[in-house]
Amino acid sequence: MTPQYRRILLKLSGEALGSDDNGCMDPSVLKQLAEELIKLRRDNIEIGVVVGGGNIWRGAEAPWLEASTSHYMGMLATLMNALALRAVVESLGAPSAVISSLNVTDLVDGLTTRQAIKGMRAGKIVFFAAGTGQPYVTTDTGAVLWALKTDADVVLKATKVDGIYSSDPMKCAHAVRYDRITYTQAIRDELKVMDLTAFSLCMQYRLPIIVFKLTPYSNIRRAVFGEAIGTIVEEENNAKTSSQRCRNTHEKGC
């Protein structure tokens, strides 16, 4: 099988690292994620991962605290997650690096785009910490910026649900899951793909986004190898044939 994408930017939320049994960071979750990334690396996929910090701290959720400080604390939370992931990958014998948008040189392997690309080309699994390095935004925006800066082929947004639906599938039994949509449709129908700043950057630079369910973790591989998993958001021309395919499926009563 040939991979669909050679250089990927995976966005993991901080919550994906925890579990009901093991709180904000579950070692077995980290190990399974690391193993999956290492498998991809063996297929020469260049891997960047932006990790969130919501399992530890989200800036906007502490209104009692001065806002900038709270957001910087959120960025530090992403750094903790990235350091843990790097350590787990390395404990499994694979090379890894943390690139940070905040200047914490004692803790990380680099701060720059050049260092990130060099690491990815050398086969390191690169974890991006501290989002954009600026308060008031989220790691979704960090993910898209790092994808653009490292010239990634795709943003893989791993979530709890298996794609983008016409409405909330938990509330509406008739919600339809899209296999492909255009940027314009996502905006028109107010489908919350990722935060708006991040999404408009993808639209502007025609960077495809695949929204898919993180578990089982082999889903990451399936997305990279172009299996029809989750929902792909892309530009009009690419999406045309697939919207057609989607409609045909509905016509068959699926």
In 10 A of CB 35, how many CB atoms?
14
Smallest CA-to-CA distance from 139 within 197, 215, 216 is with: 197
Q: What are the structure tokens assigned to 169, written together?
A: 């599938």
CB of 66 to ligand UDP, least distance (A): 12
- In 3-state terms the chain splits into helix, strand, coil percentages (rounded to 5) of 40, 20, 40
Select 12 or 239, whichever has its Cβ closest to ligand UDP.
12
Does residue 18 interact with ligand UDP by CB under 6 A?
Answer: no
Select 78 or 100, whichever has its Cβ closest to ligand UDP.
78
CB of 157 to ligand UDP, least distance (A): 10
Tokens 């791993």 label which residue?
158
- Cα torsion through 81, 143, 72, 187, rounded to 10: -130
Which position among 30, 33, 48, 54 is part of the footprint of ligand UDP (CB under 6 A)? Answer: 54
Task: Tell me the site size for ligand UDP, rule CB under 6 A.
Answer: 23
Smallest CA-to-CA distance from 131 within 107, 159, 99 is with: 99
Stretch that binds ligand UDP, among 20-28, 46-54, 175-183, 241-249 (CB under 6 A): 46-54
CB of 8 to ligand UDP, least distance (A): 17
Does residue 71 interact with ligand UDP by CB under 6 A?
Answer: yes
Select 132 or 231, whichever has its Cβ closest to ligand UDP.
132
Radius of gyration (C-alpha) of the chain in whole angstroms: 18
Does residue 138 interact with ligand UDP by CB under 6 A?
Answer: yes
